[in-house]
Amino acid sequence: MHKFRKVTLLIAPMLLLAACSTDGGVNPMTGSTQSSSASIPEIGGSKGSKPTISAPSGDAPKTLEQKDIFVGTGKEAIATSTLEVHYTLMAWSTGVLVESSWDSGQTATFPLSGVIAGWQQGIPGMKEGGRRLLVIPPDLGYGAGGAGSSIGPNETLIFVVDLVKVS
């Protein structure tokens, strides 16, 4: 009986540790936490064409969410890069497409250091030829001021970014 108690005392803590999460609740697909009531939009469309974005549902995530739809193979974006991209923007609160460079047929070119914090944090590491979903909370987007008539105050932004060229 004495041997049994020793074995039990040794095994019980190991079982407790094995049952614990070691990832802190981090979503392994995005590397960030996500509210259980949020449903990140699904992205469709083929490479080289305008993406489709399903309407979001639930509460918007409170932290930056990113997911590679297509992984590129070209040059990698870094904080000091100038980017040529195609992008589509949807507002979380309405599920309405706000704008898309695909509609004009013209890519946008800009230094990464000159755009919203959500892009500055969510784009580095992306490679040319890739497509990435970014769900950007207001504090990393346009904040309490919004942007024009199409992006209201404290709006969560859904971007699908196709990285065309890094320089």
User: What DSSP string runs through 71-102?
Assistant: ---SPBP-TT-EEEEEEEEEETTT--EEEEHH
Phi/psi at 125 (5° precision): 95, -20
Tally Cβ neighbours within 10 Å of residue 34. Answer: 18
* Separation between Cα atoms, residue 93 and residue 114, nearest integer Å: 25
pTM of the model: 0.78
d(CA 111, CA 124): 12
Closest Cα partner for 93 from 44, 42, 135, 140?
135
User: Quick check: helix, strand or coil at residue 38?
Assistant: coil
Residue 46, beta-bridge partner list: none
Angstrom distance (rounded) from CA 132 to CA 43: 9
Residue 164 to residue 130: CA distance in whole angstroms: 8
Integer CA distances (angstroms), 139 to 6, 76, 116, 135, 143, in order: 54, 26, 10, 12, 5
Instruction: Give the class (CATH, top level) of 35-166.
Output: alpha beta
- With a CB cutoff of 8 Å and minimum separation 6, the contacts of 17 are none
Give pLDDT tens digits along the chain (167 positions). 554 444 333 333 333 333 333 333 333 344 444 444 568 899 999 999 999 999 999 999 999 999 999 999 999 999 999 999 999 999 999 999 999 999 999 999 999 999 999 999 999 999 999 999 999 999 999 999 999 888 999 999 999 999 999 99
* Residue pair 141/64 in contact by the 8 Å Cβ criterion: no
